[in-house]
Structure 1
Amino acid sequence: MATADDGTRGIRDQDTRDRSFLGEVKDAISGRAALLMIGVLALTALFIASYAGAFHSPKPKDVPLAVVAPQQMSGQLVEQLDKLPGSPLDPRTASSEADAARQIKERDIDGALIVDPRGTTDKLLVASGSGASLSQAVEQVVTQAEKAQQRTVQVQDIAPADQDDTRGLSSFYLVVGWCVGGYLCAAILAISFGARPVNLKRAVIRLAALAVYSVLTGLAGAVVIGPVLGAMPGSLYGLWGLGALIVFAVGATTFAFQAVAGIVGIGLTILVVVIAGNPSAGGAYPYPLLPDFWRVIGPALPPGAGTWVARSIAYFHGNAVTGPLLVLSAWAVAGTALTLLFSALTKGRTVINRSEVRQ
Structure 2
Amino acid sequence: MNSSLTRRAAGVVLGAAVLQLLMIIAFSWPASRVAPNDVPIVTAGPQAAAVAARLDRERPGAFEVTTVADEAAARRSLIDREAYGAIVSTPAGPQVLVASGASPVVAQQLTQLGGQLAGGSPAGAVQDVVAGDPDDPRGAGFGALALPLVMSSIAAAALLTLAIPKLVPRAAGLVLFSLVGGFAVTWLAQGWLSVLPGSYLAVSSVMVLSILAVSAPVVGLAAALGRAGLGLGAAMFMFLGNPLSGVTSAPEMLPQPWGELGQLLPPGAAGTLLRSVAFFDGAGAAGPLTILLVWAAAGLVLLGIGGLRTRREVAPVAEREPALVS
Report deviation, 1:327: 0.3
Q: Cα RMSD over matched residues? A: 2.6
Q: Which runs of 5+ in 2 are unaligned?
A: 315-326
Q: Distance in 2 between matches of 1:146 and 1:183?
A: 49
The 1:293/1:229 distance shift into structure 2, 3 A limit, reads same
Cross-structure match for 1:158: 129
Q: Distance in 1 between matches of 2:181 and 2:79?
A: 29
1:142 partner letter? G
Cross-structure match for 1:50: 26
Identity of paired residues, percent? Answer: 29
Q: Distance in 2 between matches of 1:209 and 1:167?
A: 36
Give 1 or 2 for the bigger CA radius of gyration. 1
Cross-structure match for 1:325: 289
Report deviation, 1:34: 8.8
Cross-structure match for 1:135: 107
SS of corresponding position for 1:107:
coil
Cross-structure match for 1:249: 213
Q: Distance in 2 between matches of 1:52 and 1:157?
A: 30
2:156 partner letter? C
Report deviation, 1:100: 0.8
1:129 partner letter? G
Cross-structure match for 1:227: 191
The 1:36/1:337 distance shift into structure 2, 3 A limit, reads farther
61, 68, 82: which one pairs with 1:108? 82
Contact 2:95–2:114 (8 Å) recurs in 1? no
Report deviation, 1:86: 3.8
Contact 1:131–1:169 (8 Å) recurs in 2? no
Q: Distance in 2 between matches of 1:285 and 1:43?
A: 26
150, 154, 159: which one pairs with 1:188? 159
Q: Distance in 1 between matches of 2:220 and 2:198?
A: 32
Q: Distance in 1 between matches of 2:282 and 2:205?
A: 13
TM-score for the superposition, normalised by structure 2: 0.87
Cross-structure match for 1:267: 231
Contact 2:160–2:173 (8 Å) recurs in 1? no
Q: Does 1:343 align with 2:317?
A: no
Report deviation, 1:81: 1.8
Cross-structure match for 2:171: 207
Q: Does 1:173 align with 2:149?
A: no
Q: Distance in 1 between matches of 2:226 and 2:37?
A: 41
Cross-structure match for 2:256: 292
1:226 partner letter? Q
Cross-structure match for 1:7: none
The 1:347/1:65 distance shift into structure 2, 3 A limit, reads same
Q: Does 1:315 align with 2:279?
A: yes
Cross-structure match for 1:11: none
Cross-structure match for 1:60: 36
| Residue-by-residue CA offset, 1:106-143 (whole Å, 9 max, x unaligned) | 11001111111x33x22100011122211112222332
SS of corresponding position for 1:234:
coil
Q: Which runs of 5+ in 1 are unaligned?
A: 1-18, 351-359
